[in-house]
Structure 1
Amino acid sequence: MLDLLEQAQSLRRRALRRARRNRDERAFIAATSTVPGSLAFAGLQPMSLAVASIIRKTQVTAGVSVLLPQVQPEAIFAGIKTALHFAVDLAETLDRSLTIYALWENPTGQQSHQLREMMRVDFHLSRWAEVRVLPIASMVGRPVSDRELWIGTHWTTAHPLDVASRIGVLDPDQVIYLVQDYEPGFYPWSTEFALARSTYHAGFRMVVNSEPLAAYLRDAEQLDVDPALVFAPSLDLGRLEESAANRRKSAQPSVMFYGRPNKPRNLFAIGISALKLSATSPAGSGVSYSSVGESHATVALAGTTTLASRGKLSWQGYFELLSNTDVMFSLQHSPHPSHPPLDSVVSGGITVTNELAGTRAALHPRLLTAEPDPTLLGQRLNDAIEMARSSEPAGFDSTFITKLGAPLTDVVKHASALVA
């Protein structure tokens, strides 16, 4: 009965969101109907004309506006947190106010307050009262400075900025595109694939999360990515150093699988196959296996050996488990710098992950890679397990992170000099 009630509530929420997006889309189309060429872009995406619906004014004070897919405090994961961090630092460096627009969900007053408070604490935002958090619908007829600096994040936010640039509402030189993954890969070849890919060629200044992703963009899209605008992932080094200090050699190795069956790029089924192959081999004897990231049913691996799901952990719970895990098994079939493999290596553990276009193999001796094939990954898991059996915890090591890009603060300074 409870499941049926939850399903009904979920369907109702989806229907309300769909109705709101349809209403917002009609408002954007009406607001831009007199802008030459705008209606040609209506219907590509519900938010295609969102940014085009602003009114540019010379007498309005210029600020920084960042578009995010969502801003619910309970859904602020690594990508959105990085985008907020970048936007806050850039706004403070330029001494401008910051406006945050939520693309897909209308933030409540309570959520807006919680988000501002989180930024004040996490990013040491001294001028946090000057941060506004607004729904995307508030763009309709909104007076915005013609010198406003815009930040696109996920491709669905860069797309309406691209449309506004194409029809002359924005200058692409006033847009920074924070790229954190190769997002066309999230879709089969389709309209979404083509639109996501087109945002990389919109003429925006691109700031890229990690050198492996920048290398992939240079190769796949022939983009001229400025090395000075490539930053290393922002890891929680304080907690990772604490996790490293708490590590102890185990009597039998443990394997943590970053298992997310509803995220295709995390290759859940391939990961399960590799774990079964490892668990049935001599190397897997006596090893304990657990899964984190997303709840799923317990999986039988070999005999009485199972993979128990612990679901999504709290931030502190994750680091506590990390210090008690010898081998992290984390797959990501995209060039995004996934945090769990890096967290494990920095905190003295061993990681197995999949290779992708040669972007991972040379990062660290304790980061073991293989092509995304169950047999090859199972063999690398066995190598990692034997390495854990024969060696002591390695201790904290963050030096290799410099291979992944410059510190975010340095990239913000460089970006601010380009747009000031």
Structure 2
Amino acid sequence: MRSVITTCRNALSVLKHEGPRFFWKRVELNIKSRFAGKKLILPVKLEDALAVDWTEPGPQLSDPVVVRDRKSHIAWVMSPPSATSGGHQNLFRFIDYAERAGHTCSVYIYNSLGVIVKESDLKQLLRESPAYPDVRARVHNLDERGVADDVDAIFATGWETAYPVFRDRSRARRFYFVQDFEPAFYPSGSEAILAENTYHFGFHGITAGGWLSKKLHDEYGMPTDHFDFSVDRTHYSLTNRARRKEIFFYARPVTPRRAFELGVIALGEFARQRPDYTINMAGWDVSDWDIPFEYKNLSGLSISELNPIYNRCAAGLVLSLSNMSLLPLELIASGVAPVVNDAPNNRLVSDNPFIEYVQPAPGAIAKRLVEVVSRQDAVERSIAMADSLEHTSWDDSGRQFVEAFERAMRG
């Protein structure tokens, strides 16, 4: 009985915090494990995956729309958003910037299971979540008719949406809003291949950070631009100027690229050396994991809960094996020293001098955490790191995005 209750609780947690895209992925895996061979379920519709042969460029790419003397109508094709999906929150941030620049935006919902999203429900979700901006964009469910006739540009926003964007019969110019290297979300297999194939579709990529831009251009020949990472200082700021006795770990065991196990091993050694520090784990309910040290299980948190927690912490462990998380800059804004695994996917995104880059060995991570919390000038550094982002704003990133988009639309 307990396993049934746990399964139901985990399923509801995935639906709440990750949205339908990841919820249905869990459903798919469960079906495959129980009824192997009876039904194929993928995030992309099977007919879309079959119809797109990227080795033969589609006719829609040969003569795309050019816009030079007016604003554009942009269609954004996306999976159904959820209240706490960070990827969707960031996506709507840039829809808002496009609208502020005078462009008309429309949202088209795509999913492989045919779930219909009501415009009123989505608008209510956006209104009730402080992390979402208030956009004017109308909401549609994408079907075989494609986008409206007056659309000038179509953005794919996740790998599964790139397939219907490729297939759309309009002359709208194709773009790809890329926030991470999505083939890395999966083990070697069908989903990884289907995701990687989308980088061959010929779309113009506008990426989150420079690492993705360089990778997609160098390895796949994509035309790319990028916008820099930033932080919303209305949500994250320094409020504690005293010495801190806690640390933070972005703990997501359901997301392999966040290296949960690596972090737990490192934190076990940190806890042995510094038992006087409280370890906070947030991002997922980890109560079902056997973790060999004392910690606070904060589970999923709303954006309004984060800053008070950050301001209790001297250091934050944020591991990322694909594109860098937004958390390091958010931590810095709150005076927390982020400890991040050293790799191009992180260094090419931010050069902030207060990020503590460390090799991804558990012992090295533990040692760096101990060094960070033991600094005599920890309070002064906390203040300095928050000040380092004083002039940083998502508005700058929004201008980068709009300039790249408009330049591409001019052909």
| TM-score, normalising length: structure 2 | 0.75
Aligned to 2:260: 268
Q: 1:8–1:391: structure 2 CA closer, same or farther, 3 Å change rule?
A: closer
- The counterpart of 1:152, out of the listed 156, 163, 167, is 156
Gaps in structure 1 of 5+ consecutive residues: 30-37, 45-51, 53-61
**Partners of 1:326 and 1:26 in 2: CA distance:** 43
- The counterpart of 1:134, out of the listed 121, 137, 140, is 140
Contact 1:98–1:132 (CA under 8 A) maintained in structure 2: yes
Give the aligned CA root-mean-square deviation in angstroms.
4.1
- The counterpart of 1:280, out of the listed 272, 285, 290, is 272
- The offset of 1:328, in angstroms, is 0.7
Which residue identity is paired with 1:408?
G
- The offset of 1:288, in angstroms, is 1.4
Q: Does 1:337 align with 2:327?
A: no
- The offset of 1:210, in angstroms, is 1.1
Q: Does 1:96 align with 2:88?
A: no
Q: 1:356–1:143: structure 2 CA closer, same or farther, 3 Å change rule?
A: closer
Which residue identity is paired with 1:101?
I
**Mean Cα displacement is larger for which, 103-112 or 362-371?**
103-112
- The offset of 1:372, in angstroms, is 1.9
**Partners of 1:24 and 1:261 in 2: CA distance:** 22
Contact 1:363–1:400 (CA under 8 A) maintained in structure 2: no
Q: Does 1:215 align with 2:225?
A: no
Which residue identity is paired with 1:232?
D
Contact 2:79–2:110 (CA under 8 A) maintained in structure 1: yes
Q: 1:390–1:42: structure 2 CA closer, same or farther, 3 Å change rule?
A: closer
Q: What secondary structure, in the 3-state scheme, does the structure 2 residue paired with 1:238 have? A: coil
Aligned to 1:180: 179
Aligned to 1:161: 165
Q: 1:26–1:235: structure 2 CA closer, same or farther, 3 Å change rule?
A: closer
Matches within 5 A, 1:197-236: 197-221=196-220, 223-225=222-224, 229-236=225-232
Contact 1:90–1:416 (CA under 8 A) maintained in structure 2: no
Q: Once the two structures are superposed, what CA deviation does each residue of 1:247-299 show, in whole Å capped at 9, x if it has no partner? A: 1323x631111111111111010000001112222xx1411111111111276
Q: If each structure's helix is expressed as a fraction of its own residues, which one has the higher value?
A: 1
- The offset of 1:369, in angstroms, is 1.5
Q: What secondary structure, in the 3-state scheme, does the structure 2 residue paired with 1:145 have? A: coil
Matches within 5 A, 1:17-416: 40-41=50-51, 63-72=73-82, 74-75=83-84, 77-91=85-99, 93-103=101-111, 105-108=115-118, 110-115=120-125, 117=127, 122-123=132-133, 125=135, 128=136, 131-136=137-142, 139-141=143-145, 144-145=148-149, 147-162=151-166, 164=167, 169-171=169-171, 174-221=173-220, 223-225=222-224, 229-240=225-236, 243-244=237-238, 246-250=239-243, 253-281=245-273, 284-297=274-287, 301=292, 306-334=294-322, 336-357=323-344, 359-360=346-347, 363-387=351-375, 390-392=378-380, 393-395=382-384, 396-399=386-389, 407-416=397-406
Gaps in structure 2 of 5+ consecutive residues: 13-22, 32-38, 55-59, 61-71
Aligned to 1:47: none
**Mean Cα displacement is larger for which, 394-403 or 258-267?**
394-403
Q: What secondary structure, in the 3-state scheme, does the structure 2 residue paired with 1:194 have? A: helix
| TM-score, normalising length: structure 1 | 0.74
Q: What secondary structure, in the 3-state scheme, does the structure 2 residue paired with 1:83 have? A: helix
- The offset of 1:198, in angstroms, is 2.1
Structure exhibiting the larger radius of gyration computed from Cα positions: 1
